[in-house]
Copies of this chain bind each other. A is one copy, B any other.
């Protein structure tokens, strides 16, 4: 098969068509929610609000910006560890996320913010759109280096759609707690991406093996991504929590879990190397597993030491996964997981889901207080026969639904992406920016010379 990677018409047409469609749909459907509408002045009087601070904006804006940084700088730079794929990692992540957030505003809007005529958007919608795209960034990690930007746009289109439906089922029908998205974002994104990678299996990928590693500086660029993800994860897990103590608690729990996770990741990384040396891949990735694992229980009463335990376990499991599971997946299951998303988002996501089911099923009035329990689980709203036990079982059901949706969706999207005309690169040109990017020529003398030193030509 001849591979044509020239995207001159396919990529522009895809981008422009999608954007024109988005504009049309936004024109018909999207308006500002009351908090962002000039009628807010009157609304304040009606609701008897004494201050503009009661505008949802001031509750969530700092968290929103942190989440935004995680999606664009965090995920984007985390994937620059490959020696020759930095432009694509950052650039394609930028493209798919920019498209994805617009489509997510519509999909999530129709399902959750539709007033019968319009989708009314406010800051919470923007955060949820970022969350949704986060799951696409996770899946991107599984297929990194092996797909074209056109394929990524298609994958984003479908994945955002499926994500929104899955999220609707979990949050609105099953009414599970999942404020940081262990199930809806991480487990769903990871298994969706892995399934796509499985369908897109490239038997001759070893031809690109030499580029599937890092360089000294590419690893430092990746650490920028790691650290911004790590630092802002408390914002991620608390961004859409209930006002007040729930946001506060989610931050404390996530902070604790992530700190513990760093220590066990470092411990395992060293223990599993024959000379006791640390591996950058583990430091870049496994240290984040504590944030993933805490996604479901973030705002629940796990107590700080419970958070530490989750982080402790996730760091160990994730590092073990990088060492033993990733090679196994590739050799036995034919799943080529470029970034090891199975170890960072897959298993920790499942751990998070299970932790959520357990934590919910042991909720009680001693821990939460009567009003606190009602507020935390939204009992007063609809659930008359609510019990911690039921909540726990619904949480577990939510995990299974997410996994099932991810696998089924991944198969469908994978099959579509296998079609040969999306501009994908041949096996020997994977992990290579030059396929889709104009690359600068390196300066003649690789060394940067000080103007004082004269560089002599090498003698023969």
Contact = CB atoms under 8 A, between A and B. Distances in A.
Interface in A10-30: 10-16, 18-19, 22-24, 26-27, 30
A72 B231 contact: yes
A440 B231 contact: no
7 contacts: A12-B267, A15-B266, A36-B252, A39-B372, A40-B248, A57-B244, A460-B460
Contacts of A444: 210
B7 A276 contact: yes
Contact of A262 (B39, B95, B232): B95
A414 to B, nearest CB: 24
Interface residues of A, number: 159
B443 A450 contact: no
B448 A245 contact: no
A175 interface: no
A187 to B, nearest CB: 25
A198 interface: no
Nearest to A11: B270
A69 B40 CA distance: 30
Interface in A32-82: 32, 35-42, 44, 50-59, 61-66, 68-69, 72-73, 76-77, 80
A10 B278 CA distance: 13
Interface in A222-278: 223-224, 227-228, 230-232, 234-235, 243-249, 251-252, 255-256, 258-260, 262-264, 266-268, 270-271, 273-278
A22 B367 CA distance: 22
Contacts of A376: 38
A368 interface: yes
Interface in A292-315: 301, 303-305, 308-309, 312
A389 to B, nearest CB: 19
A40 B369 CA distance: 9
Interface in A424-451: 429, 432, 434-444, 446-451
Given A38-B369, A62-B65, A217-B217, 8 more contacts: A38-B249, A40-B248, A50-B50, A55-B243, A95-B262, A98-B260, A126-B251, A434-B449
Given A65-B66, A126-B251, A224 B260 contact: no
Q: Is the interface of A mostly helix, strand, loop or mixed?
A: helix
A252 B73 contact: no
A172 interface: no
B102 A267 contact: no
Across chains A and B, which 8 residue pairs bring their CB atoms closest together, nearest first?
A38-B372, A8-B276, A98-B262, A40-B245, A52-B244, A15-B267, A26-B305, A52-B243
Contact of A446 (B42, B62, B252, B446): B446
A220 B438 CA distance: 14
